[in-house]
Amino acid sequence: MKPVLKAVNVHKQFGASAVLRGVHFELERGQVHAVLGSNGAGKSTLMNIFSGILAPDCGELLLDGVPCYFADARAARREGIAMVHQELSLVPAMTVAENIFLTRWNDGWTKFVDEAAMMRAAAALLARFEIVLDPQQVVSELTRAQQQLLEIAKALSGKVRVLILDEPSANLSAAELELLYQTVRRLSLQGLAIIYITHRLRDVFEVCDALSILRDGRIQHMLPVDATSPQAVLTLLAAQLPADWVPRKHMPMQEAAPLLQLHAEDERHPALTVVPGQIVGLSGDSASALLETIFGLQPLTDYTLSLCGHAVQISHPSEAITHGLHLVPGDRRRAGLVMDLSVSENILLSLFERISSSLLIDEARGQRIVSGLLHRLGWRADDPAREARELSGGHQQKVLMARALSTEGRILLLDEPGNGMDVQAQAMLWQTVRHYAEQGNAVLMASTDAAMLAAVCDTCHVVDSNGIGPPLAAAAGQHALLGALHGTPVVTRYQ
C-alpha cells in the first residue's frame, strides 16, 4: 500500500543545533501511528514540517506518492493535513461554532454570516463525532478537556486526510479519554491517517497501529504495535546515558529544614518536600503546570505551599521571586526571552535595580556580571551583544539559566531544561545545576526525559490529574522512572 504521507531523509537545523538528522517516516491510510520520545527529540519540529509551519533544510515529503512542498500551514491544510496542537488556539470570547468555522465559513463574496446555518453545521459536525458540546456556548465557559475536544472538531471541519494530534489525552478525564479513543478509532475506520504524539503507553496500545520512537533527531525504531509489548517499548524508550551523566554522589541535607513543601488539604504528610542540596524531578501531564502554580502563574487550589517552614500564598511571579524562587520556563521564545533584546539585556532584566542608581545604569558592572555568568555556563565564543533570536536553542537556554543564577533565590524551578540542547551543552548545564544545589539551594525540574531525570535528580515524582505521586529514588534508574511515568497498570494490562 502506498503511504499517504512519507518523509525521506528530512533534516532541520536551528543555528548550530541540528534538530532533525535524516528522518525517514511513513504513514498509511487509515493508520493511527504513535510518535514517542522525550522533549527535545525533534517531535514538534517534524510535525511542524508535516503541517507546513516549518520547511525542511533538505529531504523530501511525499503525499500519496507525489512530492510536495508547503509554503505555509494554509498550503498544508489545503492538501488535507491538519494539526491539533497541545497549546490551544481558540478564541475565548467566541462560541463553539464560531471557533470551529473561524476563517473558514465566509467564502469571500459576502460580509454577512448566516449564524443559524453555522450553528446547524457545527451541531451536525459535533454529532457526527459524538462530541458533546453546545455550539452556542462561549469557549471561555468550557473546561480544558472540552476545549481540547473542540480543537479536534475544529481540525475535522475541513477536508482532512492526515490528522496530527499532539498529546490529545493530556488533559482528559477517564470518560473523555474513552470518547477520544472512540473518535480516533472511528476516524481511522473512515480512512483517515492519524499521527498520534503521546507519552502514554495506554494511548499507544488502545488506539494505535504502529509506533515510532524519535531520539536525538532520528527515528530510532518504527514497528507495528501488535508486534511489541509495553515492557518492550519501555526498553526502547530508555536512552543510553552519555558518559558525563552519572548519578549524583552528593547527598542532600536530609536533616535540614525543608526549603519547600506542598501539603494536600486532606493529607497529614506533605505530598512534596524539597530540602537544601536536593534536585527533585517531576514528570507527567501536570509537571509543568505544577511549576507554574508554585511560581504564581496559576492559582494553587489543591495544595498548601510552605517555604522555609512558613505557609505562603503566591499569586504573582513577583511574589515568588521575593520569596526566593525563580522559574526557567519551557517555552523559551514565548515565556522566557525577549527575542529583540541582546543576550546581555535579557540576562540583566531582573538586575536593573542592582546595577543602577537613580536613572543611571552601571553598564560596566552589568557586563562584568554577564561575563561571569556566561563563563560559569561554559559560553565563551558568542557575542553577548547578539540578539536572542539569533541563538540556538542551547544558547537561549543558557541565557535563561544565567538570568536565574543572577538572582539570590534558593529554589530554582526548571521546565524541560534540556529541550533543544545537544549532549555537550546539557552536560555543562547539569554541572551548573548540581553546583547550584550543592551550595545549599534546591532545584525542582520538570521533564519527560527519563534518562536525564535518572542521571541528574535525587528523587522524582509523577504529577498527573490524580495529583503528586509518591517519591521514587532516581537511583532506581530510568526504566523504573519510565514505568512510573507510563503507569504500572498499563504494563500489566497488556501482557
Predicted confidence at residue 253, as pLDDT, reads 60
Check pLDDT > 80 for residue 90. yes
Predicted confidence at residue 207, as pLDDT, reads 95
Residue bearing the bigger pLDDT, 414 or 103: 414
Mean pLDDT of 199-205: 84
Mean pLDDT of 315-323: 90
Check pLDDT > 50 for residue 492. no
The CA distance from 418 to 430, in Å, is: 9
Element of type H or E holding 72: none
The CA distance from 466 to 422, in Å, is: 33
Check pLDDT > 50 for residue 149. yes
Predicted confidence at residue 233, as pLDDT, reads 85
Of the given ranges (137-146, 325-334, 346-355), which has the lowest mean pLDDT? 346-355
What confidence tier does 376 reach under pLDDT thresholds 50, 70, 90? confident
Check pLDDT > 90 for residue 314. yes
Enumerate helices (H) and strands (E) in the chain, giving the number of each.
17, 23
Predicted confidence at residue 382, as pLDDT, reads 58
The CA distance from 320 to 404, in Å, is: 13
The CA distance from 136 to 126, in Å, is: 12
Cβ within 8 Å of residue 147, ≥6 positions away: 88, 90, 139
Predicted confidence at residue 491, as pLDDT, reads 30
Q: Which domains does the chain have, with CATH numbers?
A: 5-237 (3.40.50.300), 260-324+408-493 (3.40.50.300)
What confidence tier does 140 reach under pLDDT thresholds 50, 70, 90? very high
Q: SS3 of 323, please?
A: coil
Mean pLDDT of 294-301: 89
Check pLDDT > 60 for residue 245. no
Tens digit of pLDDT for each residue in 170-189? 666 667 778 788 889 988 99
Check pLDDT > 70 for residue 254. no
Predicted confidence at residue 51, as pLDDT, reads 94
Predicted confidence at residue 486, as pLDDT, reads 58
The CA distance from 407 to 33, in Å, is: 45
Average pLDDT score, the chain: 82
Mean pLDDT of 121-129: 89
Predicted confidence at residue 414, as pLDDT, reads 93
Check pLDDT > 60 for residue 191. yes
Check pLDDT > 80 for residue 413. yes
DSSP state of 301: -
Check pLDDT > 90 for residue 24. yes
Mean pLDDT of 35-61: 89
The CA distance from 323 to 57, in Å, is: 45
The CA distance from 103 to 111, in Å, is: 12
Cα 181 versus chain centre, distance: 22
Select from 169, 176, 161, 92 the least CA-distant residue to 129: 176
Cell of 420: 533543544
Of the given ranges (7-11, 339-343, 437-441, 484-488), which has the lowest mean pLDDT? 484-488
Select from 254, 178, 315 the least CA-distant residue to 459: 254
Mean pLDDT of 369-376: 80
Check pLDDT > 90 for residue 390. no
pTM, two decimals, is 0.63
Percentage of the chain beyond pLDDT 90 is 37
Predicted confidence at residue 76, as pLDDT, reads 94
Sheet strand arrangement including 162-166: 81-84, 162-166, 193-197, 32-36, 210-215, 218-224
